[in-house]
Structure 1
Amino acid sequence: MHSIEAELETIKNQVEAMERLEQEPKYSRRDYFASVPFDDDPSTVDHWCRYKMLEWCYSVVDFINFSRETVGIAMSYLDRVLSLNNEFSNGLLFSRKNYQLAAMTCLYTAIKVFEPKIIDANLLVELSRGSYTADDFKQMELEILFALNWHLNDPTPFQFLEYYLQLLPLHECNLHVQKDTFLDHARYQIELAMFDYTMVIHEPSKVAVAALSNSLNSIFTAHGAYNDGVKMIQHLQRMTSEPNADLPAVQHISLGMERLHNTKIPAILRRASPPSVTGTTISNKCNDQNSIDHDGEFRNAKVSPTACVSI
């Protein structure tokens, strides 16, 4: 018992550290589209550009069988850079070509940092159908790294979700549901929320609380254990920092997730598994240098970002 209590205390300390970290300016995000005039200028970046590049990122990681959390990290890099309100960030917001290059590079960087294998820059060149060179990606990566001051270990909603779930006393409920059930359901909610720009500007902890609250309510209610669900949601709110102050934002995100689910689920989220590759397997895409080469059948995949953002 003592060991379990010590483990829970360690998790609580980790959560508190992450909650403090997400409040630091280096990990903050602002409503950067508020300063962009949405007129008829075809070069100006808008919400749809972000949506399509996010869709492209999911297509890539699904195909290679990487973690979808890596996409969340990549988009956090991109959102943080665009929130800087400086010459570099404005150069991305007012040029779709530069924005697309930055989005692709953020995914490239997140994969290098967090995945066990890396992708070759020439693969990105091929996926862009020659719109950019390998040097373009390398230069953009350096600019992004310096813009972020090399702060690449973002606290993510997925991390908060797993910690919050471990802290919930689900064993006290009359209905016993596997934690993985809640985890899978909540992770889907987070992935869904990433498509709505108005939600991603909130702190990752709030997104995680909203996703887990929705999952607790949905699953317990579906099993006729509504009261247990309410009890767990109340416990979740108590263990987050400043729960009363956070509640309006969490409710906004929660309702937004429900709205997205009930209206339009992006096709990429309906995909049960990575698309099959005729005559080969995903593992064959990785060469002996622990990288994913630009050769082979991957070039035939319909994930080219040139179809995502009109330049």
Structure 2
Amino acid sequence: MDYSSLTSQIRVMHQQERSASYRYVDYMSVAANIVRPSDREALCNWGYHTVAVCKVSRSTAVKAISYFDRFLATCAPTAMRALTDLGDVQLAFVACLVIALKVHSGFNVEADFVSNEVCRNEYDANEIIAMEMEVLQALGWKLNGPLGHDFIDYYLEAVPLIQEIHREFLTRFSKGLAELALTKYSLALHRPSEVAFASIFCALQHAEFDVAESLLAIRMISGLDQNDPKLRKLLHSMSCLLVSEPERNAARRPSESSPVSIWNSAAPR
């Protein structure tokens, strides 16, 4: 893709992530909410584990997490109810993962299989199908918004004269950090473009090659500046994340393979 087309595409993605359909909202600030950041993190980790078992790209789990956050941020009655019931919020996450597997990985996901093998009969097939439809309707069937992974690919494509081995390192490091950041609720509230920029910036700091030209190119293509106060705070948080979880444990396996095991007991349904 030539530079003009690249900048045009990124501009469209920036506009899209700022739109009402894809903008992230702090749904945990709702008074009735009982879902904690740690609950959400457990679900995200379970999602990463599940796609690994299915042998599909981790970006499928990233999509599912995006659907989940966007769904809970809507005013849909089912979404608002889920914020008051851990059983329902788990069901919503399962539905979002099923949708992502169907849409982005081409899986023919049968509701009976999900009910019996994935959820261990905590939810029946009809409940799963019904929640899928609730999510799709609440999202207005808009399933292709830009994610951090997308921005990382486009930002790095703009870097001139970079060796392929260096590009692979930056891509792998940046996407891994972005995946980990997505499990942290406070970081997930940032725009995907900002998380992508911060992830690449952290990757460049760990690179063993000259990064000055690369950083300048990414600043120009993204329109972002690491000296901006908001981004400086984000960069600090993500740097701390690297220190506290250097092995990037976003794929760590819960004690059981079903999300039902994430909490000691699900809320009454």
- Normalising by the residue count of structure 2, what TM-score does the alignment of the two structures yield? 0.89
| Corresponding residue for residue 236 of structure 1 | 218
- Which of 84, 99, 105 pairs up with 2:95? 105
Query: Given the alignment of the two structures, is residue 166 of structure 1 paired with residue 157 of structure 2, yes or no?
Result: yes
Report the secondary structure of 1:26's partner residue.
coil
Query: Given the alignment of the two structures, is residue 71 of structure 1 paired with residue 66 of structure 2, yes or no?
Result: no
1:205 to partner: Cα distance? 0.7
Distance 1:216 1:267, change over 3 A: closer
Distance 1:50 1:135, change over 3 A: same
Preserved CA contact (<8 Å) 1:193 1:256: no
- Which of 255, 261, 266 pairs up with 1:307? 261
Preserved CA contact (<8 Å) 2:170 2:200: yes
Q: Give deviations 1:163-201, integer Å, cap 9, x for gaps.
A: 110101244xxx884311111111111111012111111
Query: Given the alignment of the two structures, is residue 247 of structure 1 paired with residue 235 of structure 2, yes or no?
Result: no
Q: Give deviations 1:192-240, integer Å, cap 9, x for gaps.
A: 1012111111111111111111111211xxx2x4xx3233223312221
Preserved CA contact (<8 Å) 1:81 1:147: yes
| Corresponding residue for residue 280 of structure 1 | none
AA matched with 1:69: S
- Normalising by the residue count of structure 1, what TM-score does the alignment of the two structures yield? 0.78
1:36 to partner: Cα distance? 3.9
The number of residues matched between the two structures is: 263
| Corresponding residue for residue 140 of structure 2 | 149
Q: Distance between the aligned counterparts of 1:176 and 1:304, measured in 2?
A: 39
| Corresponding residue for residue 192 of structure 1 | 180
- Which of 61, 67, 89 pairs up with 2:79? 89
Larger of the two Rg values belongs to structure = 1
Q: Distance between the aligned counterparts of 2:227 and 2:143, measured in 1?
A: 26
Query: Given the alignment of the two structures, is residue 201 of structure 1 paired with residue 189 of structure 2, yes or no?
Result: yes
Report the secondary structure of 1:27's partner residue.
coil
Distance 1:158 1:62, change over 3 A: same
Query: Given the alignment of the two structures, is residue 27 of structure 1 paired with residue 22 of structure 2, yes or no?
Result: yes
Taking only the aligned residue pairs, the percentage that are identical comes to: 26
| Corresponding residue for residue 133 of structure 1 | 124
Preserved CA contact (<8 Å) 2:64 2:96: yes
| Corresponding residue for residue 169 of structure 2 | 181
Distance 1:266 1:183, change over 3 A: closer
Q: Distance between the aligned counterparts of 1:265 and 1:195, measured in 2?
A: 15
Q: Distance between the aligned counterparts of 2:37 and 2:115, measured in 1?
A: 25
AA matched with 2:167: K
Query: Given the alignment of the two structures, is residue 15 of structure 1 paired with residue 15 of structure 2, yes or no?
Result: no
1:162 to partner: Cα distance? 0.5
Query: Given the alignment of the two structures, is residue 49 of structure 1 paired with residue 39 of structure 2, yes or no?
Result: yes
AA matched with 1:181: F
Q: Give deviations 1:99-131, integer Å, cap 9, x for gaps.
A: 000001000001111103232222221221211
AA matched with 1:230: A
Where do residues 239-278 of structure 1 align in structure 2 (5 Å cutoff)? 239-241=221-223, 243-244=224-225, 247-264=228-245, 268-269=249-250
Cα-Cα RMSD: 2.4
Q: Which runs of 5+ in 2 are unaligned?
A: none
Q: Which runs of 5+ in 1 are unaligned?
A: 1-5, 39-43, 276-300
Preserved CA contact (<8 Å) 2:158 2:217: no
Preserved CA contact (<8 Å) 1:78 1:102: yes
Preserved CA contact (<8 Å) 2:61 2:97: yes
Preserved CA contact (<8 Å) 1:45 1:96: yes
Q: Distance between the aligned counterparts of 2:140 and 2:71, measured in 1?
A: 10
Preserved CA contact (<8 Å) 2:187 2:234: yes
